[in-house]
Amino acid sequence: MSDITPAAKAYYLPQPSSWPAIGATALLLTAIGAATWINRGAAGPYVLTAGGALLALMLFGWFGTVIQESEHGLYGAQVERSYRRAMGWFIFSEAMFFGALFGALFYMRWHAVPDLASGATGDLWPGFQRSWPASGPAIDGTLASMHPTGIPLINTLILLASGATLHWAGWGLKKSARGQLKVGLMLTVGLGVVFLCLQASEYHHAYTALGLTLGSGAYGATFFMLTGFHGLHVAIGATVLAVILVRSLRGDFTPNDHFAFNAASWYWQFVDVVWLLLFVLVYCL
């Protein structure tokens, strides 16, 4: 990235932009399309696709504008502090999001299921067992839990390794070792893609061999919601790191000016920590 110019000593105020309005329109179309598709509306998939395409265009254009402003030396220390605080609050909001999902798992597993199988509430559904995995009082059949060995354990090792390769890339950036930076980013992105492929394989096995779906009651819902949203975050993180890799290949970032790399690294490490909690609470307990 370029060094800070004298023009950046004052706090930079961007010019009016249409990207926020375009982004809001994209989110509206995406929500309408998803709701229409769920309710079997014929136009749902098309509206959802249009919203997703418009959202991708907005992200590409808006972030491209921010990168150009940064590379032209318009950002000073105050802007970087604002970005750091904003990224911190963003990760905090993501922590609250996953905290809500983990809270739902805790409530269903250690409160709702035992309550439904005991006391006065147990008389409503005679024969309902309080064991986990549980489907639900009105859902027939039994469920097999997902074991921590196999793909889940391999994916845990993959994410731990990706955290190490990203940290190694960061050290390369700090000591101006561009080759180390690029190789570390390539390895991290590659490990993220392998993680997603293995998770897709696990989903296929769960759906075809175990009959586990979102409609399989409490266990199926919590399993797919937690692992699915985490997988989405891995996909987003891998995409962001791929962009950082492309920028590194073209010569962006210096040892003293690389906030974009730091932000992507914070996000990826957060995703790693969430997976460790998920591995213990969903697969092991």
> What residue spans define the domains of the chain?
1-75, 77-284
**Top mean-pLDDT range of 13-17, 93-97, 106-110:** 93-97
pLDDT value of position 9: 57
pLDDT digits (tens, 9 = 90+) for 29-45: 999 999 999 898 999 99
Report how far residue 277's alpha carbon sits from residue 285's, in angstroms, rounded to the nearest whole number: 11
Q: Does domain 77-284 have CATH number 1.20.120.80?
A: yes
Highest mean pLDDT among 52-56, 132-136, 209-213: 52-56
Considering the entire predicted model, what is its pTM?
A: 0.87
Q: Does the pLDDT value for residue 7 go beyond 70? A: no
Dig out the tokens for 105 from the structure: 């798992």
Q: How confident is the model at residue 233 (pLDDT cuts 50, 70, 90)?
A: very high
Tokens 């985490």 -> residue: 230
Residue range 42-65: mean pLDDT, rounded: 94
- Kindly report the CA angle at 158 between 214 and 197, in degrees rounded to 5? 45
Contact 137, 114 (CB under 8 A): no
Which long-range contacts does 189-194 make (Cβ < 8 Å, 24+ apart)? 189/238, 189/241, 189/242, 189/245, 191/158, 191/159, 191/161, 191/162, 191/165, 192/162, 192/234, 192/235, 192/237, 192/238, 192/241, 193/238, 194/158
Topology of the domain comprising 1-75: Helix Hairpins (1.10.287)
Of the spans 121-125, 156-160, 213-217, 248-252, which averages the highest pLDDT? 156-160
